[in-house]
Amino acid sequence: MRSIVPIAVVCLLGAASPAYADHTTDIRVYNRMDGSRLAVADNGTAEGARVISLRSPAWQYTTARWTVDERSDGYTVFKNELANKCLQPGTATPVAGDPLVIRTCDGSKLQDWSRRAEETYADAPTGWGTFRPRLNPNLAITIATWEAGGSWASLHLDADQNSTDRLWRLARGNNTWW
């Protein structure tokens, strides 16, 4: 009987899914430069669908809602609530210019993001920050090009800088802050 107990403990503790410190639903992710919000192009839910930033208030995509899992290892996972898929760079080795997509959540490091708080003169917290892919923390989610007459923007990864096109904040539902 003693040999069964350690095996059961290993099976229970050896789960492949990551441990989450905080799990928050109904989150909107806003950009500081233009107030746009993270969503999936054409309200898509398909594997590899492109992630964009909606600028026009007329565009009320249901894919603008995210579940944010802040993990105990310091990384964050963004899961699109409608698609039930996670945010990640478009390639397996993130470089500047890569688009953002959603893919089936698999617990990989490709779906991990770190947050760097906005740098201010007095180091005062602002609530804004950049989101950087774990596999290349020198990059950050960035507004790329305004599309469709400016009603939405394409996104890509670019150098992590303290500029408004790279600064984002989280808000729950229709609240202005998380």
Map out the domains of the chain with their CATH numbers.
19-172 (2.80.10.50)
Instruction: Determine the distance from the C-alpha atom of residue 155 to the mean position of all C-alpha atoms in its chain, rounded to a whole number.
Output: 12
- All residues at 6 or more sequence positions from 171 whose CB lies less than 8 Å from its CB, including other chains: 27, 28, 30, 177, 178
The answer to whether 103 and 48 have CB atoms below 8 angstroms apart is yes
Answer whether residue 4 shows pLDDT above 60: no
The answer to whether 94 and 139 have CB atoms below 8 angstroms apart is yes
CA distances from 150 to 55, 58, 95, 153, 164 (A): 7, 12, 26, 7, 17
Which residue from 101, 121, 90, 116 is spatially nearest to 169, judged by alpha carbons? 116
Name the band, by pLDDT with cuts 50, 70 and 90, for residue 121. confident
Answer whether residue 9 shows pLDDT above 90: no
For residue 15, the model assigns a pLDDT of 38
Answer whether residue 3 shows pLDDT above 60: no
Which residue from 161, 150, 159 is spatially nearest to 54, judged by alpha carbons? 150
Contacts 24+ apart (CB under 8 A), 57-60: 58/151, 59/151, 59/152
What tens digit of pLDDT does each residue of 25-36 get?
Answer: 899 999 999 999
Alpha helices in the chain (DSSP H): 4-13
How many residues does this entry show for the chain?
Answer: 178
What tens digit of pLDDT does each residue of 39-49 get?
Answer: 999 999 999 99
Could you tell me the pTM of the whole model? 0.85
